[in-house]
């Protein structure tokens, strides 16, 4: 198992304003973000690649792992630290072969079966949700806190919770056995991303 600090896992949203986007990521890291995942579902490949190179400059500066969502080619092209695949992306075992053993591989899994399969197929961690209602990904399966705990208890790799996590509800995820909180809007849309990150991390660590 890789030595991964998943405690505050930032997933980015669409980068309409690149300068603001990069500034938000940097402020988030200053506030305690421990992993950054870039997720671009509609960007042209070249734009995704260019953006990922820019984000990598920041993550390298702060020594925080950079994960690319879905696009294994973009991850390899920029030599990212890892890839995150969902259930409609490349299969976990195929992805592991493409990226090799050293890179981080995360998999979205909302059931025990999916989580166990991902662990068997080479995942380093699991993202499980949505634990709360979310506008970012409204087609994500909804799960309960018990589901989350069941998934975390069923495997030996760490689980991060994702989906609608805010400063107001994050405390509800205590005692679910998770290794971290994964958020999009709670940091990307925060007026003060650094402060939001500090507060989320405080809640998680308390």
Shortest Å, Cβ 42 to its own copies: 10
Q: Is 137 a catalytic residue?
A: yes
Q: Does 141 bind its own copies (CB under 8 A)?
A: no
In angstroms, the CA 34 to CA 63 distance is 9
Q: Is the peptide bond before 44 cis (omega within 30 degrees of 0)?
A: no
The two structure tokens encoding residue 151? 């998934």
Q: Is 30 a catalytic residue?
A: no
Q: Is 149 a catalytic residue?
A: no
Shortest Å, Cβ 55 to its own copies: 16
In angstroms, the CA 152 to CA 131 distance is 13
Instruction: Please state, in angstroms and as integers, the Cα–Cα distance from residue 10 to each residue in 55, 62, 67, 156, 161, following that order.
Output: 12, 14, 10, 22, 11
Catalytic residue among 39, 96, 103, 194: 39
Q: Does 47 bind its own copies (CB under 8 A)?
A: yes
- Cβ-based nearer residue to its own copies, 56 or 71: 71
Residues placed in the known binding site? 37-41, 69-70, 89, 108, 134-137, 164, 184-185
Residues placed in the known binding site for Mg(2+)? 70, 89
**Read out DSSP for 53-94?**
HHHHHHHHHTT--EEEES-HHHHHHHT-SEEEE-TTSS-HHH
Q: Which of residues 48-67 bind its own copies (CB under 8 A)?
A: 49
Stretch (H or E) spanning 46 = helix 45-61
Query: Pattern of binders to its own copies over 72-111, x per CB under 8 A?
Result: xxx-xx-------x-xxxxx--xx--x-------------
Catalytic residue list: 39, 108, 137
| Binding interface with its own copies (CB under 8 A) | 44-47, 49, 70-74, 76-77, 85, 87-91, 94-95, 98
């Amino acid at each position: 198992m890789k030595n991964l600090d998943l405690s505050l896992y930032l997933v980015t949203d669409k980068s309409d304003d690149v300068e603001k986007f990069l500034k938000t990521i940097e402020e988030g890291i200053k506030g305690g973000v421990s992993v950054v995942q870039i997720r671009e579902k509609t960007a042209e490949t070249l734009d995704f690649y260019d953006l990922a190179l820019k984000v990598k400059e920041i993550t390298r500066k702060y020594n925080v792992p950079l994960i690319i969502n879905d696009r294994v080619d973009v991850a390899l092209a920029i030599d990212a630290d890892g890839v995150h695949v969902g259930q409609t992306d490349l299969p976990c075992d195929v992805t592991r072969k493409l990226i090799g053993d050293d890179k981080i591989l995360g998999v979205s899994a909302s059931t025990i079966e999916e989580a166990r399969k991902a662990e068997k197929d080479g995942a380093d961690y699991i993202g499980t949700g949505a634990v709360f209602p979310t506008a970012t990904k409204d087609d994500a399966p909804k799960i309960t806190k018990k589901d989350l705990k069941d998934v975390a208890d069923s495997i030996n790799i760490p689980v991060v919770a994702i989906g609608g996590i805010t400063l107001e509800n994050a405390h509800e995820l205590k005692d679910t056995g998770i290794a971290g909180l994964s958020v999009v809007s709670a940091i990307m849309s925060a007026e003060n991303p650094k402060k939001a990150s500090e507060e989320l991390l405080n809640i998680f660590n308390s």
